[in-house]
């Protein structure tokens, strides 16, 4: 771990930890060259009485990254993998709004990367969202979000984020290459990981605050980036599949589908385009 606040340089990824600490509004920062999972470490920290939030656990490399639904999260050097620990109550997020936090986090990642990409004078690629919180680029998954809560600390949440930023998928397992994408492979440019992280963390805070004050406005912005709105989709519910026209998300963050039974709302499932 390096908590020195100095620039931390490795052959694969360089983070300016001092800048990160100053500019990302963090009260605590833990950097690890390698960890099994930043969410596992963040859950430990979040359960401790003396953690100062917002806090960030950052790793250059994860050896056992976790995804939603018990999936593994493949991450290679150059990927951004981190977990943000926050106190939802302190941000003013009511219990009712908390299930929407993962949607807000997906939006934060999209808007942060969009801003960074365009700030570099690029033509700008479109970062989109697949319900509930997958970040997509060019029709493939660029990043994922795993929100978890530590036991015994109501209000504290861990928002784990993985983004394929400067890591090529050339060395990824075949099943990852089939569905995923990385920024460097699509755009051929390296983005500053420090700058990307600062922007994402700031957007996370802003999106959480907007969720607390104006959930409708936030969901409207989410909708503008929705990959499948207006498309025919298949929702995989595990035991059954539902086909319908995607009508976006409602005020509760539910996915709304126009099915053969009318407008239906769903709170879980995996969405696929109906081809
Ligand atoms: C998903 O799309 O299934 C969610 C993937 C979340 C991956 C990130 S990487 C940083 C953090 N640590 C983990 O072990 N998982 C999350």
Cα-to-centroid distance, 27 and ligand 1 (Å): 22
Which residue, by CA, sits nearest to atom 2 of ligand 1?
Answer: 144
Q: Give the pLDDT confidence of 182-230 residue by residue, as tens digits.
A: 999 999 999 999 999 999 999 999 999 999 999 999 999 999 999 999 9
Residue 67 CB neighbours (<10 A): 15
* Model pTM score: 0.93
Instruction: Give the residue, 145 or 97, on which the prediction is more confident.
Output: 145
SS3 of 100-165: HHHHHHHHHHHHHHHHHHHHCCCCCCCEEEECCCEEEECCEEEEEEEEECCCCCCCEEEEEEEECC
Q: Give the pLDDT confidence of 139-181 residue by residue, as tens digits.
A: 999 999 999 999 999 999 999 999 999 999 998 999 999 999 9
Ligand 1 near 37 CB (within 6 A): yes
Instruction: Supply the pLDDT for residue 275.
Output: 64
Cα-to-centroid distance, 224 and ligand 1 (Å): 24
144 contacts 134 by C-beta, under 8 angstroms: yes
Strands (DSSP E) along the chain, which ranges? 7-9, 14-16, 28-35, 55-62, 65-66, 72-73, 80-87, 127-130, 134-137, 140-148, 156-163, 232-236, 241-249, 255-259, 262-266, 270-273
Which residue, by CA, sits nearest to atom 9 of ligand 1?
Answer: 162
Distant-in-sequence, close-in-space partners of 269: CB < 8 Å, separation ≥ 6: 235, 236, 237, 238, 242, 255
């Amino acid at each position: 771990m390096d908590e020195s606040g100095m620039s931390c340089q490795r052959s694969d990824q360089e983070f300016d930890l001092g800048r990160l600490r100053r500019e990302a509004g963090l009260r605590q920062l833990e950097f690890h060259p390698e960890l099994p999972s930043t969410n596992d470490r963040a859950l430990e920290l979040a359960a401790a009485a003396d953690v100062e939030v917002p806090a960030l656990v950052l790793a250059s490399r994860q050896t056992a990254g976790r995804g939603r639904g018990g999936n593994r999260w493949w991450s290679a050097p150059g990927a951004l993998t981190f977990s943000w620990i926050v106190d939802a109550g302190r941000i003013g997020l009511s219990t009712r709004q908390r299930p929407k936090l993962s949607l807000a986090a997906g939006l934060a990642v999209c808007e942060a990367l969009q801003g960074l990409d365009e700030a570099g004078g690029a033509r700008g690629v479109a970062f989109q969202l697949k319900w509930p919180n997958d970040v997509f680029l060019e029709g493939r998954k660029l990043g994922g979000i795993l929100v978890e809560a530590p036991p015994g600390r109501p209000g504290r949440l861990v928002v784990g984020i993985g983004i394929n930023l400067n890591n090529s998928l050339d060395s990824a397992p075949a099943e990852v290459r089939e569905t995923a994408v990385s920024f460097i492979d699509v755009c051929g440019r390296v983005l500053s990981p420090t700058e990307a992280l600062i922007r994402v963390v700031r957007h996370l805070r802003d999106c959480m605050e907007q969720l607390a004050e104006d959930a409708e406005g936030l969901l409207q912005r989410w909708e503008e980036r929705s990959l499948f709105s207006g498309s025919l989709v298949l929702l995989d519910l595990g035991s059954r599949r539902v086909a319908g026209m995607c009508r976006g998300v409602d005020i509760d963050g539910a996915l709304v589908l126009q099915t053969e039974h009318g407008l239906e709302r769903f709170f879980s499932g995996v969405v696929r385009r109906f081809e």
